[in-house]
């Protein structure tokens, strides 16, 4: 029998397993664990690929995966890219759900959804923790440890109060031409921006600007949308691979966990082997669920045969504002870009309001054909327009905070389908229109008709399904250690435990909290 | 099987024709094959309005201005089958290194950019008028 079984190999499962391994626990990690196809990583830059004959296979895909947005509902081009398809492979089959008009994305991949993340790494600060049953300072040592291990680039600037300590950061990545111009515009008109509630600055990204151990610094090859295994961009595999290779964690792939049973002296975990279809049982003294907010909740409800209780669901709603800068029309393609967020924008309408956080992206890492039919010109004109205007195209994507709402919930059906209802989202448009006014003064043009709100669920920051409550004895909430009520030896390490979701990427907090939960599980083993 | 081969050949011919007449490029035979395969892989014609596919075939047979017709269709329905076909073709042309210069600017060309965009904007007005007229004419001829 193992000390601990961890379910899931994403950001939470990896960091819980790592902590438990450091504590010398006997850890079994059960995972479905889809992997990318065995092929050498792309070594040419995005520009070199475009100038070669390899674009078809590497970027469009043998089954034209990258063209999915031509015919289907819109999905992030990264998730459509051929080498990233493993991230969402078989997800609706393995995790059936019904979501109505909402868009829900799941992953059963080795490394989880973090394989395709935007690498934004932000500490939750004091205000972000106001609904948590512990203060912000509790996570500081874990944030520091994760920062040291994964390598985060960023700097101390106007956004430091929103992003937390800048200790241990590598220097920020190089800004591309368009982002430099945007930041210069902000610096020149800072008083106007700040008076309107806006602050701009450099992002915190889990992307190396300097070598860290065996991982090289960013090469500015603009492959972040095309190659999932870039050593300069952190993914959980970089942490989990050596733990498995060094036998500090026993890893069992191809196992779909179905439910658990808590007995007097152990927890039994029932899983189906996806190759043989055989149902197997594994035992451990403790169980850590890290299958993501949706699937950890699914497992809990299934294990209690509960098909009536609804659990809250949180997600950051995204909105998008495109900008065009005529000053950059006709400029040559920017050869040294990285395709990830160039700048961050934080909007706070007044000091007591919740803030929105936006990311400023430039269009350097995607094919022109991705947007070509959006130009209101005939076909030949769209090609010329894309060639000359894309160097001046940028997008600000805002995230909105999320609080529990009785009309946003999940429920498990007897047939195993997860019913996702997400009816209420925040009112949008105010921040976006104010930003358009300010950016126009910096030479960045947009129009309210171009502003878009993504479907509910498109934030892919699902949280809150098994929320932490300090003294609250409600079933399916978790205590400060992540233990899920009414269980004794079952813990949750993923974002399901977050009672509130601020408007920022939560992955760094998921990793830090998973370490903390792993430590708590270890301590509970010591107590017997 | 013969039907499938025939359809694939027709799609390849369509790809070569549309690439030449709409984008002004000579499509590689391998990309014409990929165009046909993309129809299968993406289900491009699945659920499509059969009358629009027929309209495209008649327009090709009469050497009508396909670019104008597609533009007029796209402005009223972004998801029409003709635009989807053209969109797939755009990806394939962009994947041909001979044409990377059409999609990617490699030297500063500010004046040229504004002249080009201005010219294409004027051209768009003419193409829209022409496209709408052609769509009405071809629909009426078929009625």
Q: What is the pLDDT of residues B74-102, one digit of tens each?
A: 999 888 999 999 999 999 999 999 999 99
Helix (H) or strand (E) holding B76: helix B66-76
A372 contacts B102? CB cut-off 8 A? no
B106 contacts A373? CB cut-off 8 A? no
Residue A368: list chain B partners with CB under 8 A. 94, 103-104
Contact A400, A428 (CB under 8 A): yes
Interacting residues of A518 by C-beta distance below 8 A, sequence separation 6+: A15, A16, A17, A18, A19, A20, A23, A288, A493
The rounded distance, in Å, linking the Cα atoms of B138 and A297 is: 57
Residue B1 reports pLDDT greater than 60? no
Residue A389: list chain B partners with CB under 8 A. 113, 117
Q: Which of A56, A70, A333 is nearest residue B95 as measured by Cβ atoms? A: A56
A331 contacts B110? CB cut-off 8 A? yes
Residue B84 has which token pair? 């989807």
| Gyration radius of chain B's alpha carbons | 16
Mean of pLDDT over chain B: 91
Residue B24: list chain A partners with CB under 8 A. 380
pLDDT tens column, A38-96: 888 898 999 998 888 877 778 898 899 999 889 888 888 899 999 999 999 999 999 99
Other beta carbons within 10 Å of A521: 28
The backbone region for A27, taken as left when phi is positive above 0, alpha when psi lies in -120 to 50, beta otherwise, is beta
The rounded distance, in Å, linking the Cα atoms of A513 and A299 is: 20
For chains A and B, what is the number of CB pairs under 8 angstroms? 143
Predicted local distance difference test score (pLDDT) of residue A351: 87
Contact B55, B14 (CB under 8 A): no
Predicted local distance difference test score (pLDDT) of residue B51: 82
The rounded distance, in Å, linking the Cα atoms of A291 and B93 is: 41
Q: Which of B31, B105, B108 is nearest residue A387 as measured by Cβ atoms? A: B105
Q: What's the CA dihedral at A80, A86, A90, A92 to 10 degrees?
A: -50
Bridge partners, residue A356, by sequence? A347
Length of chain A: 528
The rounded distance, in Å, linking the Cα atoms of A489 and A349 is: 44
The rounded distance, in Å, linking the Cα atoms of A465 and A257 is: 18
Q: What angle do CA A358, A361, A362 make, to 5 degrees?
A: 155
Which among B65, B78, B93, B94 is the top mutation candidate for probing chain A, defined by the most A β-carbons within 10 Å of its own β-carbon? B94
Q: Is A452 helix (H, G, I), strand (E, B) or coil?
A: strand
Three-class DSSP labels, B18-64: HHHHHHCCCCCHHHHHHHHHHHHHHCCCCCCCHHHHHHHHHHHHCCC
The rounded distance, in Å, linking the Cα atoms of A507 and A497 is: 13
In terms of CA atoms, which chain A residue is nearest residue B70?
A: A378
B102 contacts A70? CB cut-off 8 A? no
In terms of CA atoms, which chain B residue is nearest residue A373?
A: B87
| Gyration radius of chain A's alpha carbons | 23
B7 confidence band (pLDDT: 50, 70, 90) = confident
In terms of CA atoms, which chain A residue is nearest residue B130?
A: A378
Which among A54, A60, A71, A326 is the top mutation candidate for probing chain B, defined by the most B β-carbons within 10 Å of its own β-carbon? A71
Q: Burial, A72: exposed, middle or buried (Cβ in 10 Å; 0-12, 13-18, 19+)?
A: exposed
Residue spans of chain A under pLDDT 50: none
The rounded distance, in Å, linking the Cα atoms of A263 and A490 is: 11
Which among B74, B105, B115, B119 is the top mutation candidate for probing chain A, defined by the most A β-carbons within 10 Å of its own β-carbon? B105
* Residue A421 phi, psi dihedral angles, 5° rounding: -115, 120
How close A444 gets to chain B, by Cα (Å)? Answer: 17
The rounded distance, in Å, linking the Cα atoms of A330 and A387 is: 8
Q: What angle do CA A472, A475, A476 make, to 5 degrees?
A: 105
E strand intervals along A57-122: 97-98
How close B2 gets to chain A, by Cα (Å)? Answer: 23
Q: Is B92 helix (H, G, I), strand (E, B) or coil?
A: helix
Contact A450, A343 (CB under 8 A): no
B105 contacts A388? CB cut-off 8 A? yes
Residue B84: list chain A partners with CB under 8 A. 70-71
Q: Burial, A73: exposed, middle or buried (Cβ in 10 Å; 0-12, 13-18, 19+)?
A: exposed
Residue B107: list chain A partners with CB under 8 A. 332
Other beta carbons within 10 Å of A351: 6
Side-chain-side CA neighbours of A113 within 13 Å: the count stands at 25
Residue B104: list chain A partners with CB under 8 A. 47, 50, 333, 368, 387
In terms of CA atoms, which chain B residue is nearest residue A363?
A: B104
The rounded distance, in Å, linking the Cα atoms of B67 and B131 is: 8
B4 confidence band (pLDDT: 50, 70, 90) = low
Residue B100: list chain A partners with CB under 8 A. 50-51
Residue A54: list chain B partners with CB under 8 A. none
Contact A466, A296 (CB under 8 A): yes
How close B59 gets to chain A, by Cα (Å)? Answer: 16
């Amino acid at each position: 029998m193992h000390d601990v079984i961890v379910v899931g190999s994403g950001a939470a499962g990896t960091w819980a397993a790592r902590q438990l391994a450091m504590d010398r626990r006997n850890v079994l990690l059960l995972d479905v664990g889809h992997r990318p196809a065995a092929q050498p990583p792309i070594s040419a830059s995005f520009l070199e690929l475009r100038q070669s004959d390899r674009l078809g296979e590497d970027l469009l895909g043998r089954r034209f995966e990258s063209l999915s947005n031509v015919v289907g509902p819109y999905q992030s081009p990264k998730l459509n890219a051929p080498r990233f398809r493993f991230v969402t492979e078989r997800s609706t089959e393995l995790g059936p759900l019904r979501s109505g008009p909402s868009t829900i994305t799941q992953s059963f991949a080795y490394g989880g959804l973090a394989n395709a993340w935007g690498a934004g790494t932000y500490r939750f600060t004091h205000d972000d923790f106001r609904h948590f049953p512990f203060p912000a300072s509790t996570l500081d040592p874990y944030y520091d440890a994760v920062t040291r291990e994964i390598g985060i680039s960023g700097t101390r600037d106007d956004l430091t109060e929103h992003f937390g300590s800048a200790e241990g950061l590598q220097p920020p990545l190089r800004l591309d031409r368009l982002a430099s111009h945007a930041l210069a515009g902000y610096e020149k008109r800072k008083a106007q921006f700040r008076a309107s509630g806006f602050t701009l600055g450099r992002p915190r990204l889990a992307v190396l600007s300097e070598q860290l151990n065996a991982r090289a610094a960013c090469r500015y090859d603009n492959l972040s949308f095309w190659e999932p295994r870039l050593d300069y961009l952190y993914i959980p595999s970089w942490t989990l691979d050596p733990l498995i290779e060094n036998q500090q964690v026993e890893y069992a792939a191809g196992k779909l966990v179905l439910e658990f049973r808590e007995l007097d002296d152990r927890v039994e975990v029932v899983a189906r082997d996806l190759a043989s279809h055989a149902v197997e049982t594994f035992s451990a003294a403790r169980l850590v669920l890290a299958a993501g907010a949706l699937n950890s909740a699914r497992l809990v409800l299934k294990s209690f045969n509960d098909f009536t209780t609804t659990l809250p669901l949180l997600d950051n709603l995204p909105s998008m504002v495109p900008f065009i800068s005529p000053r950059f029309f006709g400029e040559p393609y920017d050869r040294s870009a990285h395709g990830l967020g160039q700048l961050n924008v934080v909007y706070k309408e007044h000091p007591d309001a919740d803030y929105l956080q936006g990311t400023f992206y430039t269009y350097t890492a995607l094919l022109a054909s991705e947007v070509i039919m959006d130009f209101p010109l005939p076909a030949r004109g769209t090609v010329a327009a894309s060639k000359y205007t894309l160097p001046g195209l940028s997008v600000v994507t805002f995230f909105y905070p999320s609080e529990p709402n009785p009309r946003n919930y999940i429920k498990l059906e007897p047939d195993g389908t997860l019913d996702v209802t997400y009816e209420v989202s925040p009112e949008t448009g105010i921040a976006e229109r104010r930003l358009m006014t300010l950016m126009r003064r910096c030479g960045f043009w947009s129009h309210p008709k171009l502003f878009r709100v993504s479907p509910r669920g498109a934030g892919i920051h699902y949280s809150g399904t098994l929320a932490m409550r300090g003294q609250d004895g409600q079933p399916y909430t978790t205590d400060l250690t992540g233990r899920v009520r009414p269980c004794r030896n079952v813990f949750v390490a993923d974002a399901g435990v977050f009672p509130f979701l601020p408007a920022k990427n939560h992955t760094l907090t998921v990793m830090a909290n998973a370490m903390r939960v792993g430590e708590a599980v270890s301590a509970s083993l010591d107590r017997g | 099987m013969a039907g499938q081969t025939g359809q694939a050949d027709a799609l390849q011919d369509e790809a070569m024709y549309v690439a030449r007449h709409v984008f002004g490029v000579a499509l590689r035979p391998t990309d014409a094959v990929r165009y046909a395969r993309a129809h299968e892989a993406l289900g491009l014609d699945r659920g499509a309005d059969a009358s629009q596919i027929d309209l495209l075939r008649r327009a090709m047979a009469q050497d009508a201005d396909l670019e104008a017709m597609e533009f007029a269709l796209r402005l009223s329905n972004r998801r029409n089958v003709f635009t989807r076909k053209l969109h797939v073709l755009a990806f394939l042309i962009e994947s041909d290194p001979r044409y990377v210069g059409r999609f990617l600017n490699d030297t500063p060309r500010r004046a040229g950019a504004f002249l080009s965009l201005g010219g294409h904007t004027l051209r768009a007005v003419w193409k829209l008028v022409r496209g709408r007229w052609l769509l009405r004419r071809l629909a009426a001829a078929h009625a």
